[in-house]
Amino acid sequence: MKTSCLPSSRLLLLALTTSAILSGCSTSKNNFRAVQTSDGRVGVQTVATAKDEEVMAVAIEECKKLGKKGATISEVRSTLNDRFPVIHTYTCTTY
């Protein structure tokens, strides 16, 4: 019994094309920079086109390094930095 209507070479080509298209929609990791603020929060400096979900993922990753489980958005503001014109500030949470 045949389980796929497409030959394996076409299926592979379809999978590679889909992943290439989807990766083109995400922001490069070079366009993020995580920093710890003096009050214990985490700041993620980004380019203006970064998606909120991607920024939050970087913040959660940074909070996990600090022994916390999650992050809650505190503030989003513009900066004078040409490379990272926006900073998202998060409070790390234990839940």
Q: What is the pLDDT of residues 66-76, one digit of tens each?
A: 999 999 999 99
- Locate 27 and state its tokens: 């922001």
Which has the higher per-residue pLDDT, 16 or 47?
Answer: 47
Identify whether 39 is part of a domain.
Answer: yes
Q: Chain-wide mean pLDDT for the chain?
A: 82
- Locate 55 and state its tokens: 């920024």
When pLDDT is averaged across residues 47-55 and rounded to a whole number, the result is 94
Identify whether 4 is part of a domain.
Answer: no
* Number of domain units in the chain: 1
Identify whether 51 is part of a domain.
Answer: yes
What is the pTM assigned to this prediction? 0.68
When pLDDT is averaged across residues 14-28 and rounded to a whole number, the result is 53
Cα 9-14-16 angle, rounded to 5 deg: 95
**Dist CA 74 CA 88 (whole Å):** 8
Q: Which residues contact 40 (CB under 8 A, 6 or more apart)?
A: 92
Identify whether 42 is part of a domain.
Answer: yes
CATH number of 76's domain: 3.30.70
Q: Which residues contact 36 (CB under 8 A, 6 or more apart)?
A: 42, 43, 62, 66
Identify whether 16 is part of a domain.
Answer: no
SS3 65: helix
Please report which helix (H) or strand (E) contains residue 37, including its range: none
Identify whether 40 is part of a domain.
Answer: yes
Q: Which domain holds residue 83?
A: 29-93
Identify whether 89 is part of a domain.
Answer: yes
Identify whether 1 is part of a domain.
Answer: no
